[in-house]
A and B are shown apart, each in its own frame.
Chain A
Amino acid sequence: MAAVESFMLRHQIHFTLNGQLLQLEGQHAFAPLSDTLRYLLRKTGTKVVCAEGDCGACTVMMARTQDQNSKGQLTYRSINSCIVPTFLIDGCHLVTVEGLQEGEKLHEIQNSMVRNFGAQCGFCTPGFVMSMTNMFEHKTCPSTQNVKNYLTGNLCRCTGYQAIIDAAKDVDTKKITPLAQRYALVHETAQLKALTQKSISLKTDQIEFFAPATLAEAVDFKSKNPDCRIFSGATDIGVQINKGKFAAQKQMSLHLISSLYEINLQQKHVRIGARVTLDRLQIFAEKHLPSFGQFLHIFASPQIKNSATLVGNLANGSPIADTIPFLMTLDAQVLVQGPRGQRSLPLKNFFKGYKSFNMDSDEFIEAIAFELPDSKNLKMGLYKVSQRRDLDISCINASIWVEEKNGQAVNCKIAMGGVGPTPLRLNQVESLLLNKKIDRQWVDEAKKLISQNIQPQSDLRGSSDFRKKMSEQIFEKFAKEHLQL
C-alpha cells in the first residue's frame, strides 16, 4: 500500500517558466508566486505593490495543461501572481515579462508602449504589458472599450492611462505570435500532464497540504481533516495569507481534479464545477444569461476572473459576493460532496450566518446548479454599487426580477448583498408584492418594504443609512428603467 501511495504521490510541484520545466518543494511551494519569481528565480520584472490582487503590477501569463480546448490548444490567461500560492501553478506554463522579448528585440507590445509614452515611473508597466498580452492572446480587437476592459485590473498612478490606451490600440497585431506558438512546449506539456495524474502531498513545519488527483481522495481527505481549508483561485485566501491573517495548518487544493473544470449544460439544466473560473463563466453567461454576462463585466478584473471561481465566490461566504444575489434569484442549488455522498441544497437557505453555511464540516462544495430562466417577459435588473465603478468591492449589490402580466406582478424575486451578515433573498418582501398591480404605489411600497427588511452595517464602504436609502434607490432605478414607472 505504501509503495502504491508513493508511486501515485508527488512531493513537489511542477511547472514551466518561460519555457523551462521547473520543480519546487517544501516551503517554496507555499510562497506567493510573485515572491518565488522575484526572490528565488530572480525574475524581478514582476512587481508587487498591493499584494492583494488589486493593482496588477504582478501580472503574469499562465496556461493550465488541463485546460486545453477541443483542438488541443492551450489558452494563456493573465493572473495576479502576488496572491497565488506557488503550489496552485502546479501543472501550468508560466510566462513573465522577461519571457516576451525575443533576444534583444522588444515584443511589439513593448515597442508600442515605448513609442506611445505609455511608461512613466515604470513600476506598473510590466503588469500592463502582460495584461495587453492577455488581450491579444484572446484575439480581441483593441477598441477603446475592449482595452479598458482588459486593463481594468491594472492601476497606474502616473500616466492617467491615456498613453497606455493609445499604446494598446497602436499595437500591430500582425507582429504578435501567440504564446502557445512562441513556446510550443509539446514535450513539457506531455510531461506535466503525466505528472498531474498524481496527487501532491507537501509538508512543512506548519502546513500539511494535499492536492488530490481524484474526487474520492478529496472526499477522504476532507472527512479525515474537517478543519482543512480548500483553495480555489485563492483570490481571497491569498490576500489573507499576505496580510498574516491566514493560518490553516491543513490545506487542500482541487486543481488536479479534471471533472471540476466542467460547465455542464443539458436542456435548461446548468452545472458549474468548483474549478470553473469566472472568466469561463462569463463567456458561458454572455451566451446563455446575457444580463448576468453583462454584469460580470464589471465584476473584478481579468486577472481575478482568470483565477477566481464561482464556487469560491460562494464558499468565501462574503455578504457582498457579487454573484450571489443573482444566483439566489435563479433559485440555484448548491451541490455538496462528502462521506455520505452528494447533497443538493437550496442556495437561498445555504447561509447560516456571517461566513458560515448550512453544510457539515466534513463536506465541501462540488458545484452549483440552476435552470436557465425563461426570460421572455422577465425584467431582470442587476446592480452593484461601489465607490468606484470597476474593480471595487461592493457596498451593495442586488438582483431584481419582475414579470408583469396584465399589469400585475406574477413573478417577483429580490436578492441583495451588503445589507446584513449574509446575502439575502427578500422572501417576505416578494410575497407582499406578488400578484399586486404594478403602479407607482406598488413601487413605493416595495421600497419601503426593502428598507424595513434589511439591517445593513456601517463600514468604510458605506454607512447603514446610506445603504438603506441606496437599496430603495436601486429599486427606484429598476422601476424607472425596466417598468417605466
Chain B
Amino acid sequence: MSAHHDSSELHVTGSSEYIDDRPFTHGEVHVDVFVSSVAKAKIKSLDLSLAKEIPGILGLYTAKDIPHNTWGTIFKDQPFLADQTVEYVGEPIVIIAAETKQALHHAKNKIKIEFEYLSPILKLDEAIQKKEFIGPLRKIQRGQPDEAFAKAEHQLTGEIEIAGQDHFYLESQACIAYPKEDGQIEIHASSQHPTEVQHLVCEALGLKNHQVVCIVKRMGGGFGGKESQAAPFAVYASLVAQKLKRPARLILTKDDDMLITGKRNPFKNFYKVGFDKDGHILSLKAELYSDGGAYADLSTAIMERAMLHLDNAYYIPNFFVSGQVCKTNTASNTAFRGFGGPKGVVTIENIIEDIANFLKIDSLVVRERNVYKKGQQTPYGQVIEDDVLPELFEKIKSQTNYLQWRKKVEDHNRKNLSTLHGLSVTAVKFGISFTTRFLNQGNALVNLHLDGTIQASTGATEMGQGVNTKIAQVLADCFSIPIKDVRLMPTSTEKTPNTSATAASSGTDINAQAALNAAMVLKQNLSKVAVGVFARPESLRGKPTAGAGTALEIDIETIKDYSHIEFTNGFIINKNNPAQKITFADLLLEAYLNRVPLTSQGFFKYPGIFYNKETGQGQPFFYFTNGVAASEVSIDRFTGETKVLRTEILMDLGRPINAAIDKGQVIGAFVQGMGWVTTEKLFYNSDGRLLSCSPSTYKIPSIHDIPRHLTCELIPNSLNNKNVKASKAVGEPPLLLAISVWTAIKNALHSVRKESNVKLKLPATQEEVFHHLHG
C-alpha cells in the first residue's frame, strides 16, 4: 500500500491553500497587466492620464519604472515590460495597481496607446524562410549519413508539422508580494523555480539576494509552464509592493494567462531516411526547426533535448540532426512536460510508421528490428546499459496478444462501414538529467524536533506530482518512523538557496537524495548518541542529569563503532542486546541534551554527466526511463471523430518509491499527451491573436476522452541501482507514449489511403482527420 499524497486530505476538503486562497491582508492591492493588442509595432505614444483618474487606481508602471528591465533564463533578451516595441499580442506593457478588480478592469480600457504597425512573422514557415533565428544552429552527427543513403535500398523524405500546446494548469499564474522592513520583499508564488523568482526580482528591482525570499507552498499544476514564466509576474507584484509599500496580489484570469504566457514549442522537422527491405534504418538526416516565439526563454535547451531524442528507442548507425530555434511574433514559448523530447520522438515514430506502410509490414516489426540493445551507443555517444527496451516490446506483444489484435483491427476495417480502426505501439527512452550540467544539483534541510517529528525543506516544489510525499517517505524510512511524523515545509529560498527548477523529471531524484544525504548525517550522529546512551545506566537518561550536570556528556567524536545500532519501528535498538532500546523522540532529546546537532543540510548532484553542446557528444544523461504503449483508435468514417478504444502501457520505473503516485503520473502524463496529439488546437487569427484562450475553445481531454480500456503496469526492474532508492524519474517520460495514439490514427488512415504515406499533422484534430478521409 503506497502512502497517500501528503495534501490529499486537504485537497478533498478544499482546505489546501493556494495563492489566491490566502486571506487579504491589511492594505493589500490588486495587480494586473495591460498587454499589447498587436503582434509587432513600435509604441508611438502611451497615455496613462485617463487611467490614472479612475477611482481606486493606485499606480501605473511602465518599463521606465523597472531599474533593470531585461531578463531571460538562457539569453537575456526579454523585457519585463515592452518599452520601445512590442513583439507579440499579449506582451505586458503597463503594470496596474488598484484597490479593486473593477478599477483594474476600467483602467485597462482607459489606457491610450498608439502603435506604428510593423509586419509580424506569425508562422514558423515564414521564420524559417526569412532565417529569423534565435541562438546557434546545433548539430549531432555519427557515421556518414549521405554515403549510407546511397547504399540503402529505400529512401523516404518528408516533413512533420507539430503544433504547440497550452499547459492549462488549473491554477493560473499567481503571486503575492509582501513588503517587509528594510526594503525586503517576501513573495509567495505559484512557481516551479523559487530561486529564479528571487534572483529576477532582485535583478529587476535592484535589490540584494538577502532582501528577497520566495516561498512556494504548492502549485495548482505546473507542467513546465511555471518553470521560467512565473518569474515576470512575481516581478510585477514585487514592483508594486516596493512602490506602494503594500502587499500586492496578482492573479491572472485563465484567458489572460493563455494569451500572455508561452506554450509548448511548435516544430517543423524535415527528414530523409534510408532503410533496407526488412525495415532496418541505415541512415537518418533531419533538420529540426522550432518556433521559439518572440524571445529565447528555454527554447534552445528544448531544441537540444529534441535532437537528443530523435533516435528515441532505435539504433541508427548513420545519423545527422541539426536544430535551430526560430523567432516569431507570438508569446515566448517555454518548457512543457517532455521539453523537446516529444518533438524528437514523434518524428522518428512517424518515420517508422511510414517505413512500415511503405514496406507493407507491421510497424511493430520495424520497431523491433531497430530497437537499441545493450552496449549500443546513441548518436551522441552514450552507451545503452541494459536490454529493457527489447524486453518491453516483447512483453507488450505477448501481453496484448498483439498479432491477434492486429488481425482483429484489419478484419474490422474490411467489414465495418461506419468506423475505421488503427493500432500502433510506440516506445519512449527518456534521458534523465538537465542537459545543462550545473542545473543537476540540489540541497535540502532536515530539522529534527524533540517530540520526534521532522520538518524538511528541499528545493523541490510541489505541483501535484507527489514529490513531497516521496521525500517524506524516504526520510521516514531512513529513521524508521511513521510518515505522519515527517512534514515537508513550503519551498523557500531562505532554507534551500540556489536550487534548480523542479523540472526535467528530476524533482525526486535530486531532492529526495539531497534530503536523504542530510538525514544520513543525522542518523549517523544519532547512532553514536545511542551507543553512548546504551553504554550507561537507564537512570541517567533525560533532563535532570543534564540540567544538574551530574553525568558526563556523550561525546560522539569518540564513538567509532555504531554498527550494532538499528532504527526500527520507531525505536532505536542495540542489536547486540535487544533489551536496550529507546524511542526516536527520547533519543533526539538525548542528542539535544548532549549538544549534538539535530539539523542538517544535504546536497546532491547527478554524478558522471557531461555534454558538449558544440560537438553534440557526451554522456548527458544519468540514466534513461523507458516505456512502451499500445493504442487502438476508432475513427468515424463520416465525421472523422476519433475515440481511443484501448491503451496498454508498460513502464520501467526501477523500484518505485510510491507506485500509486507513479501510476498517477504515468496515466496523467499519457492523457495530457493525448490532448497534445489530438484535440488541443491553438487557434490564432491572421493578426496573431490567440483566439482559443479558454476551455470553451481550447479542448484539453475530458473524462470521456480517455481510452475506453486503459491499463498501466510498472514492470519489475531489480537491476536498476543508480538513483535514489533505486527508483526512476517518472514526470515526463509517459507523456511521450501518447504518441501511440497519433500513430494509431495514422495507421487507421493508412488502411484507407494505401497509395502513399499520409502527411498527418499534429494535433490530429477532427478537422485534420476529416481532411484525410474526405479531401
Contacts and interface: CB of A to CB of B under 8 A. Distances in A.
A376 interface: no
Interface string A342-363: 0000000000000000000000
Contacts of B466: 120
B171 A123 contact: yes
Scoring A113, A148, A160, A463 by chain B CB atoms within 10 A of each residue's CB, the highest score goes to A160
B126 interface: no
A476 interface: yes
B170 A157 contact: yes
A469 to B, nearest CB: 6
A123 B766 contact: no
A125 B639 contact: no
A125 B465 contact: no
A161 B671 contact: yes
A157 B700 contact: yes
A96 B670 CA distance: 32
User: Interface majority SS on B: helix, strand, loop or mixed?
Assistant: loop
A45 B13 contact: yes
Contact of A50 (B169, B669, B696, B770): B696
A473 B681 contact: no
B298 to A, nearest CB: 20
A120 B219 contact: no
B220 A159 contact: no
Contact of B8 (A45, A117, A164): A117
Interface stretch (B207-215, B269-277, B687-695): B687-695
B56 interface: no
Given A52-B695, A385-B766, A114 B705 contact: no
A111 B712 CA distance: 23
Interface in A192-238: none
A50 B694 contact: yes
**What band does the interface of chain B fall in when counting residues whose beta carbon is under 8 Å from A?**
35 or more
User: Interface majority SS on A: helix, strand, loop or mixed?
Assistant: loop
Contact of B221 (A100, A101, A106, A157): A157
A277 interface: no
Contacts of A476: 638
Nearest to A96: B14
B485 interface: no
Interface in B42-75: none
A98 interface: yes
B218 interface: yes
Contacts of B13: 45, 97-98, 100-101, 106, 110, 126
B18 interface: yes
B170 to A, nearest CB: 4
Contact of A480 (B638, B703, B767): B638
A336 interface: no
Contacts of B549: none
A385 B642 CA distance: 11
B415 interface: no
B191 interface: no
A457 interface: no
Interface in B471-502: none
Nearest to A460: B683
B691 to A, nearest CB: 5
Interface stretch (A70-78, A173-181, A389-397, A412-420): A389-397
Interface string B411-440: 000000110000000000000000000000
A473 B171 contact: no
A157 B465 CA distance: 12
Interface stretch (B141-149, B561-569, B660-668): B660-668
A162 B710 contact: yes
Contacts of A96: 14
Nearest to B768: A466
A123 B221 contact: yes
B490 to A, nearest CB: 15
A152 B702 CA distance: 7
B745 to A, nearest CB: 15
A121 B692 contact: no
A385 B105 CA distance: 36
B710 A119 contact: no
B11 A463 contact: no
A481 B2 CA distance: 49
B339 interface: no
A42 B23 contact: yes
B636 interface: yes
A52 B705 contact: no
A43 B14 CA distance: 9
A477 interface: yes
Contacts of A434: none
Given A121-B169, A125-B12, A388-B699, A115 B704 contact: no
B255 interface: yes
Scoring A120, A383, A461 by chain B CB atoms within 10 A of each residue's CB, the highest score goes to A120
Interface string B705-719: 110001010000000
B344 interface: no
A417 to B, nearest CB: 15
A363 to B, nearest CB: 30
A460 B691 contact: yes
8 contacts: A47-B220, A120-B464, A120-B668, A125-B12, A157-B668, A388-B705, A477-B636, A477-B639
Interface of A: 38-39, 42-47, 49-52, 54-55, 57, 96-98, 100-101, 106, 109-111, 113-115, 117-126, 129, 147-148, 151-152, 154-165, 239, 243-244, 383, 385-393, 460-463, 466, 469-470, 473-474, 476-477, 480-481
Given A117-B8, A160-B667, A244-B105, 8 more contacts: A47-B18, A101-B13, A106-B9, A106-B12, A122-B16, A164-B703, A387-B681, A389-B641
Interface of B: 2, 4-5, 7-18, 20-21, 23-24, 105, 167-172, 218-223, 253-255, 417-418, 463-466, 636, 638-639, 641, 643, 660-661, 663-664, 667-672, 679, 681, 683, 691-692, 694-697, 699-706, 710, 712, 765-767, 770-771, 774
Among all A-B residue pairs, the 6 with the closest Cβ atoms: A45-B14, A121-B464, A123-B220, A122-B11, A160-B671, A120-B464
